[in-house]
Amino acid sequence: MGIIENSSYRAPAGFSNPHLQTILPSLFRKVKGLPLPEKRCIELPDGDFLALDIYQNQNSGNSSKKAVIISHGLEGNSSRAYVLGMAKAFLRSGWHAIAWNFRGCAGMNRLPRFYHSGDTADLACVAKYATQELGYTSLCLTGFSMGGNITLKYAGEQGDALPAEIRALCAFSVPCHLESSAMRLSEVFGGLYVKRFLRMLKAKITEKEAAMPGTFDLSKLREIRNFKSFDDAFTAPLHGFISAEDYWHKSSSLHVLGQIKRPALLVNALDDPFLTPKCYPRTQAASHSYLHLELPCRGGHAGFLSFGRPDGLYWSETRAVNFAQDHISG
């Protein structure tokens, strides 16, 4: 549908720095006013499971047939502030919300494999559960960072075959081109962000090896310094890819954006420290019948800080609700 250069987002005074935008919400934001979620586990065809947090709208009860499915980012989970904020925003607008955890992000999963940036099959299982088991007839898929890449890739892979109940998509801070984003992260702040992610990933590998001896060669952990070395040693072979480059190429949503056949909003801040020019698909969006590419000047990575609202919501959350409401009726 085109490129939205003149985004309505404006960073609060004194908070335009992209690293402040990225780090402050992650460390300090508290989302209040949410009902307790119903915890459910769904079984997967390969014998593994996914953990879901289901938020029921207290006012509409079971009458509402609309739900948002929220996909978190790398080493995130369903309790992260950006997930809770998005759930709260949709609940306030009469929707239900389903926040799901990638494999291994809500306790150890059963199989040696984990999750990865191109793994759309699990999201498909969540959407199927939402429609067939929970009875929702209108879904909006929303994702952040890796979750946004999975959301867009799923819709692009499916094209016209995407389940009819999925009416709209919203994705924020998406590394559409994984290879360049991985390289970029190794440079920013001397690789500080990468070191944080790798610390969590290494701990997960070590924990799983203790539970499933012989699954991993832990001696390789000493050589891990960046995403390429980690993905070459673990992600790629564990999930059927030849190399890190093969994994990145086959898992990048950039290559299937043209096949999306539902209204889709992609919001990538121009100052996002995780992204490169290849993560801003201007050419694809300019002639796309469904893709809206919004490019705020500020916002950092999954930031979009907002202050002073009585409901405590951030701009990205109200933006997603408004987009979904514009494209989904009933």
Q: Which residues are catalytic?
A: 145, 272, 301
Q: Cα–Cα distance between 113 and 227 in angstroms, integer?
A: 17
Q: Cα–Cα distance between 172 and 148 in angstroms, integer?
A: 6
In sequence order, the 6+-apart residues with CB closer than 8 A to the CB of 117 are 74, 146, 149, 150, 175, 178, 247, 248, 251, 252
Q: Cα–Cα distance between 291 and 306 in angstroms, integer?
A: 25
Find tokens 């050589």 and name the residue.
223
Which of 118, 124, 125, 127 is CA-nearest to residue 49? 125
Report the sign of the C-alpha dihedral through residues 308, 321, 86, 261, in that order.
negative
Q: Is 143 helix (H, G, I), strand (E, B) or coil?
A: strand
Find tokens 């959301």 and name the residue.
151
